[in-house]
Amino acid sequence: MERQFTNEIALLKLRQGEVFRGEGILAVTKALLQSGVSYVGGYQGAPISALLDVMVQAREYMRELGVHVEACTNEAAAAAMLGASINYPARGAVTWKSIVGTNVASDALSYLSTAGVTGGTLIVVGEDYGEGASVALERTHAVALKSSMWMLDPRPDLANIVRLVEKGFELSEASSTPVMMELRIRACHMNGTFVAADNRAPAVSSVHKLAGPPEFFYERLAHPPATFKHEKLKAGSRIQAARRYIREAQLNELYEGRESSIGIVVQGGLYNNLLRALSSLGLADAAGASDIPILALNVVYPLIAEELSAFCAGKSALLVLEEGQPEFIEQDLGTLLRRADIQTRVHGKDLLPMAGEYTTETIARGIEKFLALALPQRDLSAGRAWLQSIDALRGQAASLFAAPLPARPPQFCTGCPERPVFAAIRLAEREIGTPHISGDIGCHAFATFEPFSMGNTILGYGMGLASSAGVAPMMSGRPLAIMGDGGFWHNGLLSGVASNLLNGGDAVLVILKNGYASATGTQELLSSPPEAARTAALGQSSVHADRSIERALKGMGVRWIKTVGSYRVAKMAQALREAFSAPGRGLKVIVAEGECQLERQRRLKPAVAAMLGAGKRVLRTRFGVDEEVCSGDHSCIRLSGCPSLTIKQADDPLKVDPVAHVNNDCVGCGLCGEVAHAAVLCPSFYRAEIVQNPNLWDRLLFALRSRVIGWLQPA
């Protein structure tokens, strides 16, 4: 199974007055239940995976409440679930990762926002912007503007986040409009507390069922000519109702300050960074009281003209802190102030970077520039000394190193079944040449880093094969497309395979079948092995012999399919050579089968610990390098890139070069030996079996082997 959320499930059951202690994203999950949500869906992805994962594992409790939980096959399916709230007074919430997930869901979101909702709907988006971002750096804010959906960006405090979730549903119902909530990585993973309330059983649910559908009402459909009226409602009554509710519920927060001639307008999600920057500059105390007035926008769209006008009245200058580009809030604010004939100077991107994350240091440097223009008499000597000390430390660090530190890019886990596939591609290239390689989103994207450095494009989850369609006609040989089983079920089957077959394409597709959507937390897929098979295969490295991917391919009309064990480097290289040289046009598919090593170890380690505790025999496999045989050319390292395969200084003083060495992180996958065999490298690798709690036969065999080896060794 994927990670167990036993403690988190207990947090979901907290009652009125009890204190919740945990992460931000789990506070959102609890807040959904306190809001009386009827259904929850979504697609996994950092940093919001835990929201859906914990609810999936708490399905029994969800059934008691009448909350339907669905792990969707992609974001579009999740967004379509919200259609339940168009006609019925049922509150629904869905979640996915950032702008890329929102793009996949955009069709359903456009029609949902056009039709409007009866029950409140909340879309929780894990904003993957800045440090740790793993997607294109675009703002979800743009989608809210485009589709006229309201956007919450809560100040990172668990009590405030919970309040915004609950008020978000009310805002949605008050304006008949879907509401989005963006949460940055730091907010999702911050720890804190809030006082819980009782969970609300939804009025409409799987327990309290509807008698039947409502009377047919054409204007509830997002279909012409009703859509023309919907457009007028968006720009008229809906946005006015939203602004009225935001103002009356005081969703945005005002913090007074002594320097009333200036002010700062900040996205709620950046408030904590802002406060730390002000404190570092000597403009705020340890309790968070700022000398400069702050308007924290927990709702970044729509803006409330009355609030902003009141905040700016009498101020000579204003600084807008808005992460990312374009500067939507700054532009909107400038328009509102000019229309109200308020002449406050607005600064923002002129003093702060247009792109990149707004860290504490970045904000502090922007505020320093702002005060130099707007409040030059203010003494910032302490803050400037702090900034100068940072610069001095950077200069000192640079002077200590003759060259930059080596890069440490992310990489495959130790024993990952995807690494040997790319080693096989490298070996096959010696005969077939270097093909155009269309990469994909997922763990396998790590192959773009050394030592493999392969992949010409990455254009979306499950889009590897589709992105090779324009290349194939221009290439003398077949292009190679790569996708995981997660990408295959998310989008690849239709966008890639079906399109290729429809157009008579000629390409090679490698599907990395590790059994899970691994990069997002090992969520289960349509082709994941059943629990019984996983338990029975504790000592094996391959997934259960379920063939739903192969069956789907055959049903679509793919004729050339080979399934190869991921760790069989020589066989995989041979399959690649056959795929590229096979006569006739048509899609050639290789399914590389090997269970996610991270998930396998999660199951294996507790099972081994239990067996050892019970005194049972445990057999472990390890690999090593005989340094007397190792020549020190390190070809094995360049071909496999395994983190457990490293170097060490040879014990033999006559060997100048360091030799290869397998450290204690080895999980016994055998890739190092497979690569050495497939590439015809030196025979320095050996396989060892470690027996714990040996039985009588093991002891006798060990004694016999030791004696024979002793006879063969010189005195």
pLDDT tens for 598-644 read: 888 888 888 889 999 999 999 988 888 888 888 888 888 888 888 88
Vertex 85 angle, CA 197 and 39, to 5°: 50
Mean pLDDT of 638-660: 86
404: in domain: no
Say yes or no to pLDDT of 23 above 60: yes
Work out how many domains the chain is built from and give that number.
Answer: 4
438 and 507 in a single domain? The answer is: yes
67: in domain: yes
> Tokens in use for 386?
């702090």
For the chain, the first-to-last Cα distance in angstroms comes to 53
Q: Which CATH number fits the domain that encloses residue 348? A: 3.40.50.920
Residues 6+ apart with CB under 8 A from 236: none
DSSP 8-state assignment for residue 324? S
399: in domain: no
d(CA 705, CA 711): 10
Percent of the chain with pLDDT over 70: 96
d(CA 429, CA 513): 22
Burial group, residue 112, by CB count within 10 angstroms (0-12, 13-18, 19+): buried
pLDDT at 550: 93
Kindly state the helix (H) or strand (E) to which residue 12 belongs, with its residue range: helix 6-12
Say yes or no to pLDDT of 542 above 50: no
For 341, the 3-state DSSP assignment is coil
339 and 463 in a single domain? The answer is: no
Q: Which of 344, 368, 393 is the last residue of a domain?
A: 393
d(CA 297, CA 570): 58
241 and 293 in a single domain? The answer is: no
- pLDDT, tens only, 367-419: 999 999 999 999 888 889 999 999 898 888 888 877 777 777 788 988 899 99
d(CA 107, CA 85): 17
**Among the ranges given (44-53, 186-195, 424-433, 694-703), the one the predictor scored with the smallest mean pLDDT:** 44-53
- pLDDT, tens only, 94-116: 999 988 899 999 999 999 999 99
Say yes or no to pLDDT of 545 above 70: no
Q: Which CATH number fits the domain that encloses residue 154? A: 3.40.50.970
- pLDDT, tens only, 462-486: 999 999 998 988 988 999 999 999 9
17 and 38 in a single domain? The answer is: yes
Residue 195 pLDDT grade (very low, low, confident, very high; cuts 50, 70, 90): very high
410: in domain: no
305 and 156 in a single domain? The answer is: no
Secondary structure (DSSP) of 110-147: HHHHHH--SS-EEEEEEE--STT--S----THHHHHHH
pLDDT at 248: 97
401: in domain: no
Say yes or no to pLDDT of 31 above 90: yes
d(CA 457, CA 454): 9
- pLDDT, tens only, 565-587: 999 999 999 999 999 999 999 99
> Which residues pair with residue 563 across a beta bridge?
591
Full domain range(s) for residue 29: 6-248
Mean pLDDT of 525-531: 78
105 and 199 in a single domain? The answer is: yes
What is the SS3 assignment for 519-572? HHCCEECCCCCCHHHHHHCCCCCCCCCCCHHHHHHHHHCCCEEEEEECCCHHHH
d(CA 451, CA 454): 9
- pLDDT, tens only, 255-282: 999 999 999 999 999 999 999 999 999 9
Taking CA atoms, 284 is separated from 234, 255, 323, 622, in Å, by 41, 12, 22, 57
Q: Which CATH number fits the domain that encloses residue 700? A: 3.30.70
Q: Which of 588, 440, 596, 622 is nearest to 523 (CA)?
A: 596
Query: For the chain, what is the radius of gyration of the CA atoms?
Result: 29
468 and 572 in a single domain? The answer is: yes
What is the widest separation between alpha-carbon atoms in the chain? 100
Average pLDDT of the chain, as a whole number: 89
- Residue whose token pair is 């025999």: 617
Say yes or no to pLDDT of 678 above 90: no
Burial group, residue 323, by CB count within 10 angstroms (0-12, 13-18, 19+): buried
d(CA 615, CA 534): 23
Give me the amino acid identity at 351. Answer: L
pLDDT at 131: 62
- pLDDT, tens only, 501-521: 999 999 999 999 998 888 777
Q: Which of 600, 627, 650 is the last residue of a domain?
A: 600
Q: What are phi and psi of 319, to 5 degrees?
A: -115, 125
pLDDT at 535: 53
Q: Which of 73, 175, 77, 75 is nearest to 117 (CA)?
A: 175
d(CA 285, CA 275): 9
605: in domain: no
